[in-house]
Structure 1
Amino acid sequence: MSDGGDSLQYHRSVGTSSPALEFALIVRREPHPSNDNQAALKSITVQSPLIRKALEAVFDGYEGLETRLRQLTFEAPFHSFYYRWHRFESLRNLESDESTKAHLTLLYNIISQEILPYIHTMQDFTKNRVISFTHLWTIFAPGTEVYTKIKGHDCAVRLKSSSYGANMSGEYFSLECMYIDCDGSNFGYVDASVEINSFAGVKRLSDLEAIPIHLHPNIEELVERLHIRGDKFEQLNGFHHMSYSGFYTARSSRQVRNRHIASGRIIVDPHTFGIYSMSGPSLAVLENDRATTYSSKSLFKSGDSVIRSATEEEFRMYEEALQKCQELRDNNSNPTPRVLSCKQRLLCAPSVRGYCLTAKIWAEFDVEKVSRITWSTDVFARLVLPRGTKEIIRAFVQEQLSHDDGFDDIVSGKVAEEMCQPLYAMSAGELGETAAEVEEQLEMVLELTAKWNAILLLDECDMFLEARTTADIRRNRLISIFLRKLEYYRGVMFLTSNRIDDFDPAFESRIHLTIHYPALDTAKIVSN
């Protein structure tokens, strides 16, 4: 078809010869793989400026496609047209310019023979809640939300692209997705891949490794749960001292292992996790939320998706669930500032990174198992010490902590509860044996406790406190390291020792408060 004059000519199918620039469309065909008497459509090259201009509106925002190219080529099976088919139909029907409409109609007549059979098959599959492996691509449109599991957790992710592939295990359908994570300061997208292995015949949608989220059988309950989790995830960005009960994933550069803790204390701190454990995620910038809110003119919302048309009722329930979450948020009488939208909170990661104070290890914690601490503020009152001594301890610690700048758990733990501060408890033996190990570990512990404004308990530290002698050079080096680090420590540290009479004189100027803990009186213990 040429675009010269007002007359409508026919398009011409060509093989491998050089394309003639006077034609509006170049249609390439090849032998059909299963029918020798029929040629299969291989590609369509759009040369008509009228069609290219019209297609700008059809494929607005479609990633990986540029309609302003002089020779715009679409390859079979024409996924881009399939995903934007309703928009293309509407644009052709509403076009007022006769020449443009004639060009669009010619393109429509050619490509509809390829697209409509896919649409009809997809409609039949979704109506019966099944899908075949070769038709998986027909239900996954780029930009839509997808339900899947990440590390065993129910998750919503946004689909970027999909493709078929193969490896030693066989064929698979790959979904390249993204979800929202944080680095302690900012939120952004990180990538995630989901694979659906090849299967024979058809498979129920509910049995797939991933499905469009609006096709989830319990969509209202899922949206509510993911929104609550995402809301908590957003609040946990930054530094937080929290309680945790359940399994968590301990991570380091060398190994990953699952561990369990019952009612322990943790520090949620993605930024510091990235410094001392593993580098944090590389975050892609969040969009302006034009395509993520429930009221947006997104791919589905604009009504141009054949998938939405085939599952209109399911998508309506999905939008209503989003609307309900938004209304609950808007009606909150005491809302805190938020960065993420309702739909973005659905896309948040299921875990947060931080530090387990009980096991003293960097880890990832399930968001749903993180909770606020219930402080036992009466334990300090039950501490068996003279009243004046307890008041001195309280006043001293309050003063030190205000600058922000086992005694075993009998004292230090109760002080931490009284002050509602983190407690970092460890024995001197955990610092290592060599001078290099002690210096490295002690430096990290002091930096962390100062950063978190935590109370540090260094139990059984006689080896650091005893007076130096000329006979033990190794211990002298350890004491020198400890003294040097202690000199510049900005936090509160409790040291416990049973040999106070053997203290090195150098410690006297560095210890602000020395308390003798007497033998416990049985009657007082029982009364408390």
Structure 2
Amino acid sequence: MASTVDSKMKDEQEKSKTEGSKSQRILRVDQIYSRKDRQIHYVKTAKSSLTQAKYERMNKTTLVVRRIISKQGMVASTEVDIKSTALRDILLEMFKGVEGLQLNKTPPVADPELLFHALPGLTKRLQLEEAKDVRNKSLINDLNSVLEYIKEDFGRIMASLESLSEHDEITFDLLWALFPPNITVYTKDNMLKEAQAYRFLSGSYQKQQDGSQFYQMRLRMITHDGQELGWGEQNLQINGFEGAKKVYHLSTFPLSVHPEKDAARADLIRRGRRYVDLLKTSCKEYSGTAITEDRKIVIRGSYKAVRFFAHGRVMLDPVTFRQQNAYSDLMIPWVSMPVNPETFKDDELLLCSHSLLGFSFAQKKWGVFAISKVADVQWNAAAFEKLVMDPRKRNLVHTLVKSHRNDGVQFDDIVQGKGKGLVGLLSGSPGVGKTLTAEVVSEVTKRPLYMVSAGELGTEVSEVDERLEMVLEITRRWGCLLLIDEADVFLQKRDGLDLQRNSLVSIFLRRLEYFQGILIMTTNRKNIIDAAFESRIHFKLHYDDLDEVSRTAVWKNSLRSGPSGLPKPNFSDEEIKSLAKLRLNGRQIKNACACAFSIAIEDKKPLTMEGIRLILDIVVEEVKEGD
């Protein structure tokens, strides 16, 4: 019995000794700068002052908690000096890869919040050490000391967090506790409203000019800025709010608390693989919101980013985007650390950007395009057979465009770099199929069609030269079929009176001479062409006005091309022939059918001959029969 009492007393003494040593291992001081001697002094709470030398000789102390006092006598910040080498090594291993740590300083320094985030790892490390047959008592004491510090300084916060977590909630003042270094966060806080994962680097509370608070986060993602692929940094913020809020209702929150985190993670990884695949310059289909810059609006030295709806073919090409838009803020974030996509694992794919830089052919705008809205191009090979024109002419254009290569093997010149392009001219009245020919050839040769009008290139000589250079260069680079519609202003014969027009023709001729792509021009007036163009045009085709046979074919093709979901109209040959007697061009026929189909869809009824006739009576004026 006596030995049992002695044993208990011994245990209590040992426990008291250990607890005493714990409190001695944590030293709390205020760091004050003295203006008198221009030195830093350390003052214990309600104790005598410590000199720098005495402070540095405190080898038995595990932690020194320093409150840094400002000149106004206020606590500016708090830092924790790690006096234990073993504890420092554990923290370095725990936060491996985290930037901005001061654990390699002398002495090692940690932010209190960092130690808070280390709580689970430190607790586990203590359990492992205590489970060993041969325990490191010094390390156990160090771990107990740092856990005691966390409990003392963050006890109330941990209790609040535990209560809030039961309802998946958080308050604004405790946001920092959600974001340990390197955690993966999830957000849709971008102009495209697309899901994006980031690696969290650091955060801080800030104030707006109006005094309202926000929590600013420094984040990292994988992106391509037009020069290279790699890690880029971006700042996002969470605006201040009152009371408690669901964590997953925040504008940015840890991916681990997403209500469908497994599905969200899988979607992000899948999209990351798609992103890497799309880094190679490629023509795609796109339908949805994209972002461009409005160069008429400048905010704080930058063009305003605006949304626009892009529909049709796009070229995804960050490198060419940068070459043509050297100072665009759409390339932000800039890449600071290049990476090799071949080494990517799921954790990297997860963090790939939700968008790519490129160009919309239909809207003729450079912009940012969401990966989720990108689809493979479905080229319409059957379009060739629906083109109403002389089969010999049709086959000629098809063969020339299909056989042409960007290296210009088929067409070359004595002077290197000259004569490597393929240039064609299509002439005829409006609506006879000139533009449609280019569109169809684009489909069957699987080349994107870049269509511009002469007016879009400008009227001033310097403006035209600059834009023409850009258009011809990206046409060559992307292997496009370039269509310059209504190119009369560039083709017209020069004379001694109109110097402005003469200059435009000369510029066009010079650019054409070194062009290495495929160009088709259209004109309504074939007899006004300058003689210098004759030797630079590889093929010329003239389109006569549509006769009744041609109009019959156009009507049949247009009526067959109705929208899906609407029954195909069942018109007799006689009814089609009656329509073909009307002297309409191809564009008028196409527009009439489009309007009639729209009305049929609205009325939820099949298209009828009466519907076609109604459109023709209202929309198409002065329709005459016969050729």
- Using structure 1 for the length normalisation, give the TM-score: 0.80
Structure 1 residue matching 2:436: 3-state secondary structure: coil
Find the counterpart in structure 2 of residue 374 from structure 1. 378
The CA RMSD measured in Å over matched residues stands at 2.9
Q: What is the aligned counterpart of 1:182 among 224, 228, 234?
A: 224
Q: What is the aligned counterpart of 2:102 among 49, 66, 73?
A: 66
The AA in structure 2 aligned to 1:155 is Q
Find the counterpart in structure 2 of residue 394 from structure 1. 398
Find the counterpart in structure 2 of residue 258 from structure 1. 307
Q: What is the aligned counterpart of 2:169 among 127, 130, 134?
A: 130
Question: How many residue pairs end up in the alignment?
Answer: 464
Find the counterpart in structure 2 of residue 493 from structure 1. 519
Query: Is 1:23 aligned to residue 58 of structure 2?
Result: yes
In the TM superposition, residue 224 of structure 1 has moved relative to its aligned partner by 3.5
Q: What is the aligned counterpart of 1:438 among 461, 464, 471?
A: 464
Query: Is 1:202 aligned to residue 244 of structure 2?
Result: yes
In the TM superposition, residue 92 of structure 1 has moved relative to its aligned partner by 4.1
Find the counterpart in structure 1 of residue 116 from structure 2. 82
Q: Decide whether the 8 Å contact of 2:406 with 2:479 is kept in 1.
A: no
Find the counterpart in structure 1 of residue 13 from structure 2. none
User: Residue by residue, what CA displacement relative to the aligned partner does 1:400-455 show, whole Å, maximum 9, x if unpaired?
Assistant: 23646793322111111110101111111221111111111111111111111111
Bigger CA drift: 48-57 or 458-467? 48-57
Aligned equivalents of 1:233 and 1:30: distance in 2? 47
Find the counterpart in structure 1 of residue 183 from structure 2. 144
Structure 1 segment 461-500 matched on structure 2, within 5 A: 461-500=487-526
Aligned equivalents of 1:250 and 1:178: distance in 2? 23
Aligned equivalents of 1:377 and 1:162: distance in 2? 54
Aligned pair in 2 of structure 1 residues 124, 412: CA closer, same or farther (>3 Å)? Answer: same
Aligned pair in 2 of structure 1 residues 485, 225: CA closer, same or farther (>3 Å)? Answer: same
Q: Decide whether the 8 Å contact of 2:232 with 2:337 is kept in 1.
A: no
The AA in structure 2 aligned to 1:524 is S
Find the counterpart in structure 2 of residue 161 from structure 1. 202
Structure 2 residue matching 1:68: 3-state secondary structure: coil
Aligned pair in 2 of structure 1 residues 121, 244: CA closer, same or farther (>3 Å)? Answer: same
Q: What is the aligned counterpart of 1:269 among 299, 314, 317?
A: 317
Aligned equivalents of 1:56 and 1:431: distance in 2? 60
Structure 1 residue matching 2:523: 3-state secondary structure: coil
Bigger CA drift: 508-517 or 174-183? 174-183
Find the counterpart in structure 1 of residue 347 from structure 2. 343
Structure 1 segment 384-423 matched on structure 2, within 5 A: 384-401=388-405, 403=407, 407=426, 408-423=434-449
Structure 2 residue matching 1:200: 3-state secondary structure: coil
Q: Decide whether the 8 Å contact of 1:184 with 1:238 is kept in 2.
A: no
Aligned equivalents of 2:156 and 2:338: distance in 1? 37
Q: Decide whether the 8 Å contact of 1:184 with 1:237 is kept in 2.
A: no
Aligned pair in 2 of structure 1 residues 29, 382: CA closer, same or farther (>3 Å)? Answer: closer
Structure 2 residue matching 1:157: 3-state secondary structure: strand
Q: Decide whether the 8 Å contact of 1:184 with 1:239 is kept in 2.
A: no
- Using structure 2 for the length normalisation, give the TM-score: 0.68
Aligned pair in 2 of structure 1 residues 521, 401: CA closer, same or farther (>3 Å)? Answer: farther
Aligned equivalents of 1:413 and 1:137: distance in 2? 56
Find the counterpart in structure 2 of residue 293 from structure 1. none
Point out the structure with the larger helix share: 2
Find the counterpart in structure 2 of residue 121 from structure 1. 160
Aligned equivalents of 1:449 and 1:53: distance in 2? 58
Query: Is 1:219 aligned to residue 271 of structure 2?
Result: no
User: Residue by residue, what CA displacement relative to the aligned partner does 1:328-359 show, whole Å, maximum 9, x if unpaired?
Assistant: xxxxxxxxx96532232332222221111112
The AA in structure 2 aligned to 1:344 is E
User: Residue by residue, what CA displacement relative to the aligned partner does 1:479-500 show, whole Å, maximum 9, x if unpaired?
Assistant: 1111101101111111112322
Q: Decide whether the 8 Å contact of 2:116 with 2:150 is kept in 1.
A: no
In the TM superposition, residue 197 of structure 1 has moved relative to its aligned partner by 2.1
Q: Decide whether the 8 Å contact of 2:314 with 2:360 is kept in 1.
A: yes
Q: Percent identity?
A: 29
User: Residue by residue, what CA displacement relative to the aligned partner does 1:30-66 show, whole Å, maximum 9, x if unpaired?
Assistant: 79xxxxxxx9x95443334454455444443332223
Q: Decide whether the 8 Å contact of 1:47 with 1:72 is kept in 2.
A: yes
Aligned equivalents of 1:74 and 1:223: distance in 2? 32
The AA in structure 2 aligned to 1:60 is K
Aligned equivalents of 2:548 and 2:357: distance in 1? 44
Bigger CA drift: 160-169 or 484-493? 160-169
Aligned equivalents of 1:13 and 1:184: distance in 2? 51
Aligned equivalents of 1:487 and 1:217: distance in 2? 61
Q: Decide whether the 8 Å contact of 1:163 with 1:174 is kept in 2.
A: yes
Find the counterpart in structure 2 of residue 448 from structure 1. 474
Computing the radius of gyration over CA atoms, which structure comes out larger, 1 or 2?
Answer: 2
In the TM superposition, residue 98 of structure 1 has moved relative to its aligned partner by 3.4
Structure 1 residue matching 2:545: 3-state secondary structure: coil
Q: Which runs of 5+ in 2 are unaligned?
A: 1-19, 31-41, 43-49, 69-74, 130-134, 296-302, 409-419, 427-433, 558-627
Query: Is 1:230 aligned to residue 272 of structure 2?
Result: yes
The AA in structure 2 aligned to 1:161 is S
Q: Decide whether the 8 Å contact of 1:273 with 1:362 is kept in 2.
A: yes
In the TM superposition, residue 252 of structure 1 has moved relative to its aligned partner by 5.5
Structure number with higher relative contact order (C-alpha < 8 Å, ≥ 6 residues apart): 1
Structure 2 residue matching 1:65: 3-state secondary structure: coil
Aligned equivalents of 2:518 and 2:401: distance in 1? 7
Find the counterpart in structure 2 of residue 506 from structure 1. 532
Aligned pair in 2 of structure 1 residues 489, 114: CA closer, same or farther (>3 Å)? Answer: same
Q: Decide whether the 8 Å contact of 2:103 with 2:110 is kept in 1.
A: no
Structure 1 residue matching 2:396: 3-state secondary structure: helix
